[in-house]
């Protein structure tokens, strides 16, 4: 068993942990990053499957994500825009595909008026929320006690309007059933992107990608750390006291003054803390759980939808794949579609055989793009629910009432143990941008403590 000593031990080589490690190193502190997997990046994973380069995890960057944009520029990476020429497609309750342009779905004038009215109301509510402190709003407890679905249904009895409003923060973002998340969580999700309108604007929220894949961010951050990153080292035990910490992984032990837990909060309980974490953390961490979404890639010889004048952007709260986009790589002749199957729909298709699941998902894509979608040359489902060191996608959120009850304690250190992860972020919540912000924040706190 190798034993080393550092100023700070970082558990997890995702965007949060690697950002923190680089910031600490820049400030002159020594670090060791222990990573459970045989690769860095965590939920950022660019891989080649049957000859197709696919973004298995996170990929898009929106203009508000300034921490990620700065990091991408600092690492010298190039970006490109998602293909968006032509019409989008919406499948309505009757199952018919309608082409449209702009942000408003082609619904009846009555439904459109309800969506517009509630969007305005939601934007006003979101404007009152500080994404870094949603629990501080005077109505936080009230808004956290009502489900997102129940609140919307109390505003209107127009089912199509409710479904369209609900899925932007539900299936598309928190990836939990809308009865399982609170209005406050939903407002936080929107506030973290600047406004509810930003969140539903695909051209804003799914703006840019990195040429060659977003996993280059953690790969290059890890490269800067050189031999301070240790793979295949799941941390099993963390001993801690006012004197410092000892992290015991499978093949090594790191003694340090401070620790950063840079892993998804649902995994904290995989580590044996000696002594145990305080009561508050034991309770709080149990109220956070992962959402669940399958990201599906289908690669075709050509981007056939473009020839039909379609952008590839498609939505429907009635479809198995509630949203889908053109996800062709930069400079590639083949065409790639990406679709998402979320929460209850994801549970449902995982009860089917792999062949049946593929058929059902491709059939859903064909409702948007036509029968050509049924026959891809490469088909791949990201299944983060089966990943031992993640256990869901995209990220963790509180159950009903948890955010107002525990939120203010989420980022508080426990003695020498600090917490950093996209799932704890305010601005950039559940996104790579939030992971980078949390990594920077925790590193700054540690540097301040060391210098005090």
Cβ proximity to ligand FAD: between 119 and 342 the closer is: 342
Closest contact distance (angstroms) between CB of 414 and ligand FAD is 16
> Rule CB under 6 A: which residues touch ligand FAD?
11-17, 34-37, 42-44, 57-60, 234-235, 262-264, 267, 270-271, 295, 382, 384, 389-390, 393-395, 421-422, 430-433, 435
Enumerate residues 6+ apart whose C-beta is below 8 A from 407.
Answer: 133, 134, 135, 398
Enumerate residues 6+ apart whose C-beta is below 8 A from 444.
Answer: 23
Closest contact distance (angstroms) between CB of 77 and ligand FAD is 14
Instruction: Map tokens 């990220």 to a residue.
Output: 395
Cβ proximity to ligand FAD: between 162 and 442 the closer is: 442
Cβ proximity to ligand FAD: between 291 and 303 the closer is: 291
Cβ proximity to ligand FAD: between 362 and 432 the closer is: 432
Please indicate if the annotation marks 340 as binding a ligand.
Answer: yes
* Chain centroid to CA 237: 27
Q: What is the largest CA-CA distance in the chain?
A: 69
SS3 375: coil
Closest contact distance (angstroms) between CB of 71 and ligand FAD is 11
Per-residue burial over 314-351, b = 16 or more CB atoms within 10 Å of its CB, e = otherwise: bbbbbbbbbbbbbbbbeeeebbbbbbbbbbebbeebbe
- Which residues share a beta bridge with 2? 252
Closest CA relative to residue 283, chosen from 399, 393, 152, 127:
399
* DSSP 8-state symbol, 226: G
Cβ proximity to ligand FAD: between 144 and 207 the closer is: 207
Q: Are strands 244-249 and 235-241 parallel, antiparallel or unpaired?
A: antiparallel
Please indicate if the annotation marks 128 as binding a ligand.
Answer: no
Closest contact distance (angstroms) between CB of 317 and ligand FAD is 20
Please indicate if the annotation marks 23 as binding a ligand.
Answer: no
Q: How far, in Å, are 198, 325, 348 from residue 203 at the CA level?
A: 9, 11, 30
Q: In this structure, what are the phi and psi dihedrals at residue 96, rounded to the nearest 5 degrees? A: -95, 140
Closest contact distance (angstroms) between CB of 154 and ligand FAD is 31
Please indicate if the annotation marks 35 as binding a ligand.
Answer: yes
Cβ proximity to ligand FAD: between 17 and 407 the closer is: 17
Closest contact distance (angstroms) between CB of 116 and ligand FAD is 27
Enumerate residues 6+ apart whose C-beta is below 8 A from 340.
Answer: 171, 172, 293, 294, 295, 296, 321, 322, 323, 324
Which residues fall in the annotated binding site for substrate?
340
């Amino acid at each position: 068993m190798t034993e080393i000593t550092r100023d700070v031990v970082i558990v997890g080589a995702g965007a949060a942990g690697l950002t923190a490690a680089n910031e600490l190193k820049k400030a002159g502190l020594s670090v060791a990053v222990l990573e459970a997997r045989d690769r860095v990046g965590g939920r950022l994973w660019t891989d080649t499957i049957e000859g197709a380069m696919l973004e298995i995890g996170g990929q898009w960057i929106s203009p508000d994500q300034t921490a990620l944009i700065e990091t991408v520029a600092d690492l010298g990476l190039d970006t490109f825009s998602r293909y968006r020429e032509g019409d989008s497609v919406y499948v309505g309750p009757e199952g018919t595909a309608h082409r449209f342009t702009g942000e408003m779905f082609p619904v009846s004038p009555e439904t459109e008026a309800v969506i517009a009215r509630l969007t305005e109301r939601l934007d006003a509510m979101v404007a009152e929320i500080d994404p870094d402190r949603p629990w501080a709003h005077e109505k936080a407890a009230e808004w956290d006690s009502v489900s997102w679905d129940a609140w919307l249904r109390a505003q209107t009895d127009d089912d199509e309007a409710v479904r369209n409003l609900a899925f932007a923060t539900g299936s598309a973002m928190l990836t939990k059933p809308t009865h399982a998340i609170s209005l406050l969580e939903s407002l936080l999700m929107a506030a973290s992107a600047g406004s509810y309108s930003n969140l539903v604007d695909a051209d804003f929220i799914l703006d840019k990608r990195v040429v060659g894949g977003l996993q280059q961010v953690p790969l290059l951050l890890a490269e800067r750390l050189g031999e301070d990153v240790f793979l295949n080292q799941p941390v099993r035990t963390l001993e801690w006291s006012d004197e410092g910490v000892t992290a015991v992984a499978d093949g090594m032990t790191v003694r340090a003054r401070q620790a950063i837990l840079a892993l998804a909060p649902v995994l904290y309980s995989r580590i044996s803390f000696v002594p145990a974490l305080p009561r508050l953390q034991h309770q709080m961490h149990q109220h956070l759980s992962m959402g669940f979404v399958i990201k599906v890639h289908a690669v075709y010889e050509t981007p056939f939808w473009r020839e039909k004048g379609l952008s590839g952007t498609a939505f429907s709260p009635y479809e198995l794949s509630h949203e889908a986009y053109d996800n062709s790589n930069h400079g590639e002749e083949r065409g790639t579609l990406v679709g998402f199957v979320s929460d209850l729909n994801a549970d449902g298709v995982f009860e089917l055989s792999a062949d049946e699941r593929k058929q059902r998902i491709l059939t859903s894509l064909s409702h948007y793009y036509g029968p050509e979608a049924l026959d891809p040359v490469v088909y791949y489902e990201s299944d983060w629910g089966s990943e031992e060191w993640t256990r869901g996608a995209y990220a963790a959120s509180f159950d009903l009432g948890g955010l107002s009850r525990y939120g203010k304690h989420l980022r508080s250190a426990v003695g020498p143990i600090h917490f950093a992860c996209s799932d704890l972020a305010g601005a950039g919540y559940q996104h790579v941008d939030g992971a980078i912000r949390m990594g920077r924040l925790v590193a700054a706190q540690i540097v301040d403590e060391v210098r005090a």
